[in-house]
A and B are shown apart, each in its own frame.
Chain A
Amino acid sequence: MAVAADIILPVTPELPQVAHARLEAFALSVALPAKVMFAVDTALEELLQNVVDYSGAHEVKLWLTVEGGELRMELADDGRPFNPLAEPGPDLSVPLAERDVGGLGVHLVRRMMDRAAYEHRGGRNCLKLAKTLV
């Protein structure tokens, strides 16, 4: 049976921490495996920190559900249109001493989650992500 959380959060500097607390409560309610929680927690932190720092958004809708053997998460903000998944990732073949320090957050999102997709819909940046329950 699907279990869902549907939350609207104001965009403030504390948004990532507030969302983390809501995710923790959701994870507890569905007995989310620790490995899945760590992946989703990381993705949520990185994506919401970007919203706080760059989007100009006023609110974010966070939707979580467990369905079809996976955790599904959707984020929708009312900020400037921006697809973080289209940003180039860091070039990890460059020696650490010369490597660009940017792009690590979205790189972590891509690597930690099994699926991620973006669309601009109804004036909102919508990100859909999923992680298989293991």
Chain B
Amino acid sequence: MPLQKQIVRDECELLVTGRVDGAAANELEVEVLALAKTPIQSVYLNLANANFLCSAALRVILQSHRQWHAKGRRFVISRTSPEVDQILDLTGMRELIVEPT
């Protein structure tokens, strides 16, 4: 799973490309835990180029959203692909999609 990170001031966009399966979910979790130790205040997960999203990745995203929110920070999904849209619809998680401000 290629993962690109772009940081501007205290915001970070994580651009995920390809298949977000169980192994990729672990990589994503490691990346997000590392970001949590930085001064970054907002993480926008760009899934526009992700063509597969498993439940392990959904758990990482939901738990990260909660943990960051609890600390007054933001972890949301900024963009989606049709495949990711379908998974978010089926799991009732569309409200995690928030456009960057």
Residues of A bordering B, CB below 8 Å:
16-17, 20, 38, 41-42, 45-46, 49, 52, 90, 92, 96-97, 99, 101-102, 104-105, 107-108, 111-112
Inter-chain contact B92/A49, CB cutoff 8 Å: no
Instruction: From the candidates B55, B66, B86, B93, name the one contacting A105 in the complex (CB within 8 A).
Output: B55
Query: Is B54's CB within 8 Å of the partner chain A?
Result: yes
Query: Is B58's CB within 8 Å of the partner chain A?
Result: yes
Instruction: From the candidates B19, B59, B83, B95, name the one contacting A104 in the complex (CB within 8 A).
Output: B59
A20 to B96, CA, bound (A): 28
Query: Is B52's CB within 8 Å of the partner chain A?
Result: yes
B66 contact set on A, CB distance < 8 A: 97
Inter-chain contact B92/A96, CB cutoff 8 Å: yes
A-B contact sample (4 more), CB < 8 A, given A16-B22, A45-B52, A102-B59: A17-B23, A46-B55, A96-B62, A105-B56
Q: Which of B53-100 contact A (CB under 8 A)?
A: 54-56, 58-59, 62-63, 65-66, 69, 83, 86-87, 90-93, 95-96
Q: Which 10 A-B pairs have the closest CB atoms?
A: A105-B55, A92-B92, A104-B55, A101-B59, A111-B90, A49-B22, A45-B54, A104-B58, A101-B62, A104-B91
A38 to B51, CA, bound (A): 9
A107 with B21, Cβ < 8 A, contacts A41-B52, A42-B52, A101-B59 known: no
Give the number of residues in B that approach A within 8 Å (Cβ atoms): 24
A104 to B90, CA, bound (A): 9
A101 to B61, CA, bound (A): 10
Closest to B65 in A: A96
Inter-chain contact B90/A112, CB cutoff 8 Å: yes
Inter-chain contact A49/B54, CB cutoff 8 Å: yes
A101 contact set on B, CB distance < 8 A: 58-59, 62-63
A49 to B96, CA, bound (A): 24
A38 contact set on B, CB distance < 8 A: 52, 83, 86
